Structure 1
């Protein structure tokens, strides 16, 4: 019987969910916008329905409707009006603000129903409404079930999350006046019917199935208690539907609530390489499995650096919800930490160690544009300017700017902090060996050591003279060869020998 007309029942529930909160605004964020009824839910009237109340806003554009909700799947219009009978502004001394007192009456002498009276505010984009349940006449009265008014509005209409083996949901039950008069509230027997269906994507993926539930009813406050383990309910998203039946077997409306059952901790695993070089980035993937479709979780990343200092990750280092990438700036042991929190509030902490190895710098030395190799001998002038430059030395990108340079002459430290050594830096007249040491921030170094031979001034003059003599000799020889060749050519052209011709070769006549 309860499975009939599910679509219509859901429609009625959503309408009731929006409208059955008496004396409160539909949206907590609009706390200043409130309309109150002087009458309580469950009012019993016969003939004339007279409603009064107060409002925190001017009721210039409202509509009032009377809806017949006598059956669980019924929502029929009985009466309506595009305005209220009277609206009178007044000053509220307690709040020092302007309020509006309102009044409206309906003639319902020919009506017997469980009705819902709704006042809708039409001047806002989001339709806001306020209402009260009224039992009219003597027939067609039934219980009305609604979310508990003791809970905040945002909890009433949001998905509730439960992480234990039992969960409780509170409701308010309105009973027809004649039933309350006949039985004390402590002796009223309420039958509850609780149904559940998987709803991973906000809609039921299967038909509703009934589950066992106990309840406690005290002063119209109904508390439903469900044992998750006893009902074999696994973790997941569900749509819960609750309906009650009174002693006269009259059914209430259905109240639907989305819930999440999450009893188990998520399984979390970090995947990353165990060792990298200082120049390489570290990519960490995290896999989280909470055991049901639609589960979500929050990951908080942190990195413990080699010196033990923790740091938060940058937004640019988070590639997506489950991947982290960062570049280590120092060698040593890094610890990547992930704190995972699932919908049930369970916390899991996982870590992964990554060893970062330093790369030693590469020393490069040049003299007069030429590359100086380790162990070579370089001839330099004893007097004059010269420069040895190591500024082409390289290291990883994070160490390049912090390279340090140390220069040694004949095994003794000469200077540091400069990537070049010039002739003016050495005051000693005679020296034989020069060494440069390039050091990174991890104290790893590269060295180039070479011997130098200082060229004396006389040797340099002799060398220059030899070069000039060689050039002059080469030029003289070249001129002599040219002259000789010209003479030979001329002597062949002016020779005194007679050239003989052979006779008797002409044809005879």
Structure 2
């Protein structure tokens, strides 16, 4: 009488051709470590069986393959609950195979994905060999050539003919290749090995933790032994392991100081190293923060395979910190931080009067009864600030208008002169000021008066500019377009 169990081993794959949410799952309806003594058909199924390339099963013992069978053309397809399912059968004849402590290994390949494997232990008795003594089985299910750092969970299957849990041992040796070589698998009785005491068993499946933290980085071979204490027989299996206990040495390259602009800033982490395995497959996690007196504001968090940072806007002055965390394929993390400053460029005030450019401190003689065209359109700043510049016009140090250009009249005063000032303010409250003395062309005065007027104006305007830098409030100055 046969007993059946519903237990699976899942190897996750990443493939766009797979089911949108699920990777294929192989189910073998056979109890781990069961014994058969007659011709037997074992059923199995593949859940989410989309885009299958091939399916095969193999019977393997300690000496190698006892039979390989491609069953791709024998699959029976059906659909259930929106999932595609493929059914298959495994036929085993003890008379033709002979006695065996074997593993049934079902392999599946799909388009664009890694092979998916599920295994079961089976003991085959044959009447032709009544004195046969069954040894234990062992299969490590960790992916060969996987990365190891620190303590790693090792899992697999191991069964004994009696049904008792076997003793498990392991050894770790240097390896020269990506595959375990038969000559590198030492005999259980002749190799130094360490017994594993903390094991989680469940119906022939096991999981345990093995430490690789004491090893230098490099390729190794993990060999495990399963010892049946009742028979004294053992089984072995091995997988190649890539040990990487060293965190990446992270280096950020970039400019410490840049001027505010509309350009994007980039930082480079390509000088990062990770000896001896190299930088292939590493994940770069970038974060950028703006640092103020009261807080740290996170601006960007980005991860990817490229060592180049995402583009960082440079249109806002301040102190910033960029951090780079690099995670290698073994999960080790290294980090570096880099501070930089975006400096605001002070605007440049330029003034046109009656279409003629004038300089700071000029004296202009204009008919008191004529209109005066004033224009600040030649003033400039960095590209990011240009559109937000404020143009504040003062007459005799009194702010009267805000806008880029207009026509004005002589102030309503008996004076034959007035001081015209243009203050250009950017969004960081940086200012630039230009002042000219406008004099009635019919009535000029001595230069001493002009010097005094400019001096007093300079003192006042310096005070006004400083106020702009220390307040965010908008003034009530009339604006025009």
TM class, shorter-length: 0.5 to 0.7
Separation in 2, partners of 1:285, 1:122: 39
Q: Does 1:73 align with 2:64?
A: yes
Alignment of 1:321-336 (within 5 A): 321-323=307-309, 326-336=312-322
- Among candidates 347, 352, 358, match of residue 344 of structure 2: 358
Normalized per residue, the structure richer in helix is 1
Q: Does the Cα contact within 8 Å between 2:180 and 2:239 map onto a contact in 1?
A: no
- Structure 2 distance, partners of 1:170, 1:410, is 87
Would you say the 8 A contact 1:173–1:221 is kept in 2? yes
**Residue 375 of structure 2 corresponds to which residue in structure 1?**
389
**Equivalent of 2:33 in 20, 26, 42:** 42
Count of aligned residue pairs for this structure pair: 407
For the residue of structure 2 that corresponds to 1:338, the secondary structure is: strand
Conserved? CA contact 2:226–2:234, under 8 Å: yes
The runs of 5 or more residues in structure 2 that have no matched partner are 13-17, 186-190, 444-481
SS in 2 for 1:109: helix
- The answer to whether 1:147 aligns with 2:135 is no
Deviation digits for residues 223-274 of structure 1, max 9, x if unmatched?
6664546xx5113565534454656675636342545442x54443444444
Deviation at 1:347? Answer: 5.2
Correspondence for 2:155: 170
Q: Tell me which of 400, 425, 440 is aligned to 2:426.
A: 440
Alignment check: 8 A CA contact 1:363 1:394 kept: yes
What pairs with 1:93-108 in structure 2 (closer than 5 Å)? 107-108=93-94
Change (3 A) 1:140 1:65: farther
CA deviations over 1:94-114 (Å, ceiling 9, x no partner):
x9x999999876544243142
* Cα contact 2:389–2:424 (8 A) shared by 1: yes
> 2:196 is matched with which residue?
215
| Secondary structure of the corresponding residue to residue 39 of structure 2 | strand
Asked whether 1:453 is paired with 2:468, we answer no
Alignment match, 2:465 = none
Question: In the alignment, what sits opposite 1:254?
Answer: 237
**2:158 aligns to what SS in structure 1?**
strand
Which one has a bigger Cα radius of gyration? 1
1:392 to partner: Cα distance: 0.6
Whole-Å separation in 2 of the counterparts to 1:392 and 1:221? 80
**Alignment-derived partner of residue 217 in structure 2:** 235
Post-superposition offset of 1:196: 4.5
- Shift in alpha-carbon separation, 1:212–1:329, aligned structure 2, 3 A: farther
- 2:8 alignment counterpart: 24
Maintained 8 Å contact 1:363/1:446: yes
> What corresponds to 2:123 in structure 1?
135
CA RMSD in angstroms comes to 5.2
Q: Is the 8 A contact 1:365 1:448 kept in 2?
A: yes
**TM-score normalised by structure 1 residue count:** 0.61
Alpha-carbon spacing, 1:208–1:282, altered in 2? closer, same or farther (3 Å): farther
Give the TM-score normalised by structure 2.
0.64
Change (3 A) 1:438 1:254: same
CA displacement at 1:67 relative to structure 2: 4.6
Cα separation, 1, equivalents of 2:25 and 2:285: 40
